[in-house]
Every structure is written in structure tokens, then in C-alpha cells.
Amino acid sequence: MKKVLAILVIGVFLFGWLVCAYAKDAKMAYVDLDRVFEGYQKTKLAYKDLDNKLKNKEKKRKKMVDGIRRLKDEFELLSDKGKEEKQMAIDDRISSLNEFDRKAKDEFKKERINAIRDISNEIDIVIQGHGKKNDYDYIFSSRSLVFGRDAHDITKEILKILNKK
């Protein structure tokens, strides 16, 4: 039993020593993906485009709400028989408004997810290309990194490459 334990301890020690020896020769870096994403010009353009689309949807929604308000004002002035028809029209418009809101929200969500996915894929491709070109063994994300020396941070390089495109 003591022999097995001794061999196991020696084996763990040798494995640790080999890993440390390899790690010293490995070329490593890390990237702050949040900073890259926010600093990438295409991200800023995508956010601006999404914001413009959202403003246009809000204008259309406001027109629909104003139409419903007009109908409700007219509703107050009508007789009982006219009120039924007007109430149906108001209900139809409210239903249309709710459907418009749901569709607009879904479209915005899909467009935002697609934009983020496309930009993230571009960033990944650039990072991988930079790693291969500069012969890195590993490039880590700063999100999962507890500590990294500033000398190993290639965030600015990646941003420069992306914004050059």
C-alpha cells in the first residue's frame, strides 16, 4: 500500500512538473470580450440601427393609440345603438394594437439576437485568425480569467483589427 501511495505521489509530482514546464513555453494571451464587443464599430452601428427601428415602431404605435383615443371620444357622443358598433371598432383596434406590440417585440428581440450572434461570430473569427497568425497556443476570455498580466492582454490589438475592416 505504501509503495502504491509513493508511486502515486511521485506520478502526480512529475505530471505537475511537466505541465508547468510546458506552460512556460506556451504562448498565451487573453481578450476582454465585453470591451471588444462594445468597442467594435459594427456593434455601435447595429445598436443605432436597432434604435431607429424601435423609434419607427413607437411612431406607428402612437398613431394606433391616437386612433383608439379618437374612437373613444366619439363613443361618448353616440346613442346606445351607435355605441355598440363603435365599441366593436374600438375592441378591434385594441386587439390590433396588442398584436402589433407582440409582433414588434418579437421582431426586435430576433433582430437583436441575430445582430449579437453575427458580431460575436466575427469577433471569434478575428481572434482565432490572430491567434494562428501570431502562433498563440491559447487565447482566453477575461470573463473566465481570475488574473492576467496586462502584457498578455490583446484586447486593443483585436479591436484595431476589427475596426480596420
79-90 pLDDT tens trace? 777 777 788 888
Half-sphere exposure of 108 (CA within 13 A, CB side): 18
Question: Do 32 and 142 contact (CB within 8 A), yes or no?
Answer: yes
125 is in which domain, residue-wise? 2-164
In terms of Cα–Cα distance, which of 61, 143, 152 is closest to 108? 61
Question: Do 24 and 144 contact (CB within 8 A), yes or no?
Answer: no
We report the CATH number of the domain holding residue 151 as 3.30.910.20
Question: Do 93 and 64 contact (CB within 8 A), yes or no?
Answer: yes
pLDDT tens for residues 30-64? 899 999 999 999 999 999 999 999 999 999 999 99
Quote the number of domains for the chain.
1
pLDDT tens for residues 5-24? 545 545 554 454 444 445 55
